[in-house]
């Protein structure tokens, strides 16, 4: 039986701990017991962990054998901010399938109130990617940075092309299919997925001027969350 994986809140030598609500879920909801074994991600590695003590706000583990890890492809998702419930579903699912980094972007078509509220959602998004990472047995959650405006995307770590393949999803059937572009990607991919209604014309022009490749997912128009998941999955498969 596959052991459940937890991402440790504290690590000291050969011991680790979950604390707060993180520990309460294991202790009260899952009714864990002393002696049970789980996989514990410490940040640098994943090790077998045996519970040594339990309370409502703290669960401690003795760390044992190191577990084998599979490398995660480097796919960054620059995701325009749209209606939070659907956006957060996309964040969760892209985390589960293996995205390495998520950059929320305030786009021209992002509703003003959503753009203003997005900064306060950052902590919630961090919880979402942590929980999704544990559920999908990742060794660490993806980085999810604070929201940025499109013009500040380079400052968020998406710099000039080179080792990076930078792709913006557009809705024009004249653009190259994403799958065809990804066939020549070998190192790292950055995907930019727009909000409902897509990127504005001037935003697409900015992407092209700064070296991004415009790509299409085909002749159907997908919802933003669907496009994000499909594009991420295609990129991950291309880099594996």
- Calculate what percentage of the chain has a pLDDT beyond 70: 95
Q: Convert the pLDDT of each residue in 102-133 to its tens digit.
A: 999 999 999 999 999 999 999 999 999 999 99
Indicate if 33 and 137 belong to the same structural domain: no
Q: Report residue 196 as tokens.
A: 């409902």
- Calculate what percentage of the chain has a pLDDT beyond 90: 62
Q: Report residue 30 as tokens.
A: 């899952």
Domain that holds residue 33: 5-66
Single out the residue of 199, 226, 202, 239 nearest to residue 215, CA to CA.
199
pLDDT for 139: 87
Indicate if 119 and 49 belong to the same structural domain: no
Indicate if 25 and 127 belong to the same structural domain: no
Does 140 score more than 70 pLDDT? Answer: yes
- Compare 7 and 183 and report the one with higher pLDDT: 7
Indicate if 60 and 79 belong to the same structural domain: no
Indicate if 109 and 151 belong to the same structural domain: yes
Does 180 score more than 90 pLDDT? Answer: no
Does 161 score more than 60 pLDDT? Answer: no
Q: Convert the pLDDT of each residue in 189-234 to its tens digit.
A: 999 999 988 999 999 999 999 889 999 888 888 999 999 999 999 9
Indicate if 153 and 85 belong to the same structural domain: yes
CATH number at residue 89: 3.40.1280.10
Separation CA 209–CA 232 (nearest Å): 23
Residues 13-21 have a mean pLDDT of 92
Strand ranges for the chain from DSSP E: 5-7, 10-12, 15-19, 37-41, 46-55, 58-66, 74-80, 101-106, 143-144, 148-149, 164-169, 176-177, 188-193, 213-216
CB proximity list for 161: less than 8 A, separation 6 or greater: 211, 212
Residues 27-46 have a mean pLDDT of 89
Indicate if 62 and 82 belong to the same structural domain: no
Indicate if 102 and 53 belong to the same structural domain: no
Does 44 score more than 90 pLDDT? Answer: no
Indicate if 135 and 157 belong to the same structural domain: yes
User: In Å, how far are 6, 86, 179, 225, 230 from 185, measured between CA atoms?
Assistant: 32, 29, 10, 23, 17
């Amino acid at each position: 039986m596959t052991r459940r994986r937890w991402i440790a809140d504290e690590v000291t030598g050969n011991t680790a701990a979950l604390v707060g609500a993180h520990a309460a879920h294991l202790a009260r909801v899952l009714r864990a017991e002393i002696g049970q074994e789980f996989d514990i991600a410490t940040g640098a590695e994943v090790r077998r962990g045996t519970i040594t003590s339990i309370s409502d706000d703290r669960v401690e583990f003795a760390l044992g054998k190191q577990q084998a890890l599979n490398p995660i492809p480097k796919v960054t998702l620059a995701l325009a901010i749209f209606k939070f419930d659907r956006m957060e579903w996309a964040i969760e699912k892209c985390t589960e399938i293996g995205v390495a980094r998520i950059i929320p972007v305030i786009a021209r078509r992002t509703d003003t109130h959503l753009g203003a509220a997005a900064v306060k959602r950052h902590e919630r998004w961090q919880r979402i990617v942590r929980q999704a990472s544990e559920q999908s047995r990742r060794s660490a959650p993806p980085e999810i940075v604070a929201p940025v405006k499109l013009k500040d995307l380079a400052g968020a770590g998406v710099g000039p092309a080179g080792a990076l393949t930078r792709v913006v999803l557009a809705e024009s059937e004249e653009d190259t299919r994403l799958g065809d572009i990804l066939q020549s990607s070998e190192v790292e991919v950055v995907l930019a997925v727009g909000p409902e209604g897509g990127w504005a014309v001037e935003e697409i022009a900015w992407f092209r001027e700064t070296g991004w490749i415009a790509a299409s997912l085909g002749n159907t128009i997908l919802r933003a969350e669907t496009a994000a998941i499909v594009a991420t999955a295609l990129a991950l498969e291309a880099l594996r």
